[in-house]
């Protein structure tokens, strides 16, 4: 549309003529939208708001008196606020290239001042600190001309031919070289160890492979040998089973024959022996009973015979005294004593005979000490009496 102007996104449109702008500025500022401008009566100019760059190469002297060649790059632009645009428009609208030149000069001065208060070591090791101080000191001046700095980068610091920086870095270089050598040695050692480990693994793999091959070959040989021996082994096993069956059959036959012999010979013989033993025991028991009965009968008969003959024994003993010269001192009492002694002597003889018979019942023999007369009576010894002056008659 005729007379309607629109600024670019990175531009500020400055309209001069007519009424003044904000704060008594000689122009109005339009950003971000269009504006109708009357031709002939209004004049339009555009101020860039895009990023600009300025490079600074300056020789600065440190606090130690060492000259350093410093190269820095500044990134800046016109501020987005109305005041910054007005300040920058009033200064650089006719020649906007001067913004980079002026910014470079401003930063060169601040850079020399700050480096002059620092040592080489601080500058080299604390570049960020140097940049921050330069930005802080230049911020006020840059705001006055409507510019803002986005960044300041110290790209290089060189001491020329003095060799100070090289000397300062020598220990670090040596340490780095030493560390590099150590790292290289360690890497070489690790490489050698890795190679040795790889060689050991290869040897181990080869050994295991050889073992597996040998085991496989041995297994194949065993299988072939077993296959070759399968026929003879089967035949031998069959023969062995036949022999085992025959042996078992023979053992069973022998056991059966043994049982038959036991049933036919041993058992009848044992039964006959048992029968004979029982009969012999019975016969011995019978004879024992008969012997005991006979012995008992003989004792009863002998006792009866002795009792029956006792008067005859006493009579014979008294008859033996008939021809004896006996003096009786005490009359009738003396004769009674003699008769009683004869009866007592007969009873004593009877007891002796009974005891002898009891001790000789086992062999059935009577003692040979007994003497018998022709009538079957015991023969008593004849006693000759002699006269005694003091008492009864003594029998010799």
Question: Is residue 377's pLDDT more than 50?
Answer: no
Residue 204 predicted with pLDDT over 50: yes
Six token digits for residue 294: 């006979």
Q: Give residues with Cβ within 8 angstroms of 392, minimum separation 6.
A: 328, 329, 330, 334, 337, 338
Local confidence band at 171 (pLDDT 50, 70, 90 cut-offs):
confident
**Does the structure show a pLDDT above 70 at 394?**
no
**Contact 35/13 with Cβ under 8 angstroms?**
yes
| Closest among 2, 41, 40 to 18, alpha carbons compared | 41
Distance, CA of 133 to CA of 116 (rounded, Å): 12
Q: How many whole angstroms separate alpha carbon 284 and alpha carbon 286? A: 5
Average pLDDT, the chain: 78
Query: Could you give the percent of the chain with pLDDT greater than 70?
Result: 74
pLDDT of residue 340: 62
* pLDDT the model gives residue 274: 86
Question: Which residue bears the tokens 């036959």?
Answer: 253
Res. 122: pLDDT tops 90: no
84 or 389, which is more confident?
A: 84
**Each residue of 256-293: pLDDT tens digit?**
988 888 888 888 888 888 888 888 888 888 888 888 88
Q: How many residues does the chain have?
A: 396
Which of these, 287, 284, 280, 300, lies nearest to 357 by C-alpha position? 300
Assessment of whether the complete model's pTM goes beyond 0.85: no
Buried b (16+ CB within 10 A) or exposed e, 177-209: eeeeeeeeeeeeeeeeeeeeeeeeeeeeeeeee
Asked if residue 152 lies in contact with residue 74, where contact means CB atoms within 8 angstroms, the answer is yes
Crossing angle of helices 127-144/98-116, nearest 10°? 130
> Does 132 score more than 80 pLDDT?
yes
Q: What is the pLDDT of residue 387?
A: 40
Tens-place pLDDT, residues 316-346: 656 655 555 545 445 455 545 655 665 566 6
Residue 237 scores a pLDDT above 80: yes
Q: What is the pLDDT of residue 196?
A: 92
Angle in degrees, CA 240, 246, 250, rounded to 5: 145
């Amino acid at each position: 549309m005729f007379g309607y102007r629109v600024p670019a996104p990175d531009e500020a449109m400055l309209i001069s003529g007519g009424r003044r702008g904000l704060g008594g500025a000689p122009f109005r500022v339009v950003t971000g939208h269009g504006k109708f401008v009357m031709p002939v009566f209004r004049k339009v100019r555009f101020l860039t708001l895009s990023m600009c760059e300025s490079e600074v190469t300056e020789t600065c002297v440190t606090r130690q008196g060492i000259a350093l060649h410093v190269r820095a790059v500044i990134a800046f632009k016109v501020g987005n606020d109305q005041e910054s645009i007005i300040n920058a428009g009033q200064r650089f609208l006719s020649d906007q290239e001067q913004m980079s030149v002026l910014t470079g000069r401003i930063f060169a001065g601040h850079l020399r001042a700050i480096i002059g208060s620092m040592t080489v070591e601080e500058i080299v090791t604390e570049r960020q600190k140097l940049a921050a101080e330069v930005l802080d000191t230049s911020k006020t001046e840059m705001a006055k001309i409507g510019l803002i700095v986005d960044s300041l980068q110290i790209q290089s610091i060189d001491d020329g031919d003095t060799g100070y920086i090289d000397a300062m870095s020598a220990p670090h270089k040596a340490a780095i070289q030493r560390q590099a050598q150590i790292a290289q040695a360690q890497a070489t050692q690790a490489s050698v160890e890795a190679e040795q480990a790889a060689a050991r693994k290869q040897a181990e793999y080869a050994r295991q492979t050889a073992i597996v091959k040998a085991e496989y070959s041995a297994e194949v040989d065993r299988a072939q040998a077993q296959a070759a021996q399968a026929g003879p082994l089967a035949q031998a096993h069959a023969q062995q089973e036949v022999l085992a069956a025959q042996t078992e059959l023979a053992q069973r036959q022998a056991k059966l024959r043994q049982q038959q012999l036991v049933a036919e010979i041993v058992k009848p013989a044992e039964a006959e022996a048992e029968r004979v033993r029982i009969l012999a025991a019975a016969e011995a028991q019978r004879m024992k009973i008969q012997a005991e009965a006979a012995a008992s009968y003989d004792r009863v008969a002998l006792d009866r015979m002795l009792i029956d003959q006792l008067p005859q024994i006493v009579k014979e003993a008294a008859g033996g005294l008939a021809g004896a010269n006996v003096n009786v001192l005490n009359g009738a009492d003396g004769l009674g004593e003699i008769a009683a002694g004869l009866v007592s002597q007969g009873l004593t003889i009877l007891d002796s005979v009974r005891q002898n018979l009891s001790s000789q019942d086992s062999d059935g023999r009577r003692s040979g000490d007994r003497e018998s007369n022709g009538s079957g009576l015991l023969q008593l010894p004849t006693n000759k009496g002699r006269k005694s002056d003091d008492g009864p008659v003594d029998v010799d």
